């Protein structure tokens, strides 16, 4: 009897089979690289002597766990590890290192602008105050993860060396200016990326993303920076503890 001749539902035992196959594939994925292709449903069914329905359920469980992604008509591939952001104050670079990524940044633009009402309020400065506007593409293992735009007071940080902008800005400010971020507020909302954003992030236009607005403070309560990060929805997630 061929694989195709098997019933699409093996009954109660199928639940055990698909879970056993999921665990076996999960172990295999641990030794694979992101974007590496998995065998097809047919190949899995033949290799492990299960029905295609069982293979399909195992792959679906892996997709729900975020371990693999499927491209219609192409195949199933190992996902890039998700970056989980918690309520602990950490930088983007620290978040990536914790997931095994090598963090870096591609500088898209660095310019001086005058603070409008929105950014002057966010930074606690007068409208018209000169600001550094820094736009960067944040990368993990040279893979695009988010587009970040940060504003800092040019009066407080008059000399900002562009060579420092390929890594953690928070770490650079602490080393060069002795300013350490100790607290931050964040607002998060779901958005869909537009054309330029999609091209930078390597996703389809209209793909889901998370827009994170962040205001960071030093130990004296003064604002250090205000930033907006557009994070890929398939790679970034937030985990918060809520108490009564």
Write b or e for each residue in 65-92: b if 16 or more Cβ atoms lie within 10 A of its Cβ, otherwise e.
Answer: eebbbeeeeeebbbbbbebebeeeeebb
State the pTM of this model: 0.71
CA distance 74 to 78: 13
Give residue 89's pLDDT band: very low, low, confident or very high (50, 70, 90). Answer: confident
Question: Residues 199-203: what's their mean pLDDT?
Answer: 93
Q: What is the pLDDT of residue 113?
A: 96
Question: Residues 31-41: what's their mean pLDDT?
Answer: 85
Kindly state the tokens that stand for 94.
């620290």
Give residue 176's pLDDT band: very low, low, confident or very high (50, 70, 90). Answer: confident
Strand partners of residue 144? 139
Q: In the predicted model, is pLDDT for residue 14 greater than 90?
A: no
CA distance 218 to 181: 5
Higher pLDDT, 2 or 97: 97
Most confident of 12-26, 57-71, 190-204: 190-204
Cα dihedral 217/150/202/57 (nearest 10): 10
Average pLDDT, the chain: 85
Pick from 16-20, 130-134, 190-194: least confident:
16-20
């Amino acid at each position: 009897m061929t694989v195709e001749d098997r019933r699409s539902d093996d009954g109660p035992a199928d639940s055990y089979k698909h879970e056993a196959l999921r665990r076996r594939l999960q172990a295999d994925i641990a030794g694979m690289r992101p974007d590496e292709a998995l065998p097809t449903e047919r190949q899995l069914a033949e290799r492990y002597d299960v029905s295609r329905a069982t293979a399909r359920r195992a792959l679906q469980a892996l997709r729900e766990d975020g371990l693999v992604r499927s491209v219609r008509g192409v195949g199933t591939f190992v996902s890039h590890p998700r970056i989980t952001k918690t309520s602990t104050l950490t930088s983007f670079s620290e978040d990536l290192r914790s997931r095994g990524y090598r963090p870096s940044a591609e500088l898209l633009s660095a310019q001086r602008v005058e603070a409008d009402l929105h950014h002057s309020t966010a930074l606690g400065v007068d409208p018209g105050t000169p600001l550094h506007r820094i736009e960067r593409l944040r990368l993990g293992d040279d893979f695009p993860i988010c587009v970040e735009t940060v504003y800092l007071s040019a009066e407080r940080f008059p000399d900002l060396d562009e060579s420092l902008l390929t890594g953690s800005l928070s770490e650079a400010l602490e080393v060069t200016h002795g300013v350490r971020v100790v607290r931050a507020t964040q607002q998060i909302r779901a958005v869909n990326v537009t054309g330029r954003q999609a091209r930078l992030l390597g996703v389809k236009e209209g793909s889901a993303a998370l827009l994170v607005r962040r205001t960071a403070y030093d130990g004296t309560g003064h604002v250090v920076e205000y930033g907006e990060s557009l994070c890929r929805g398939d790679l970034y997630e937030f985990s918060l503890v809520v108490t009564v």
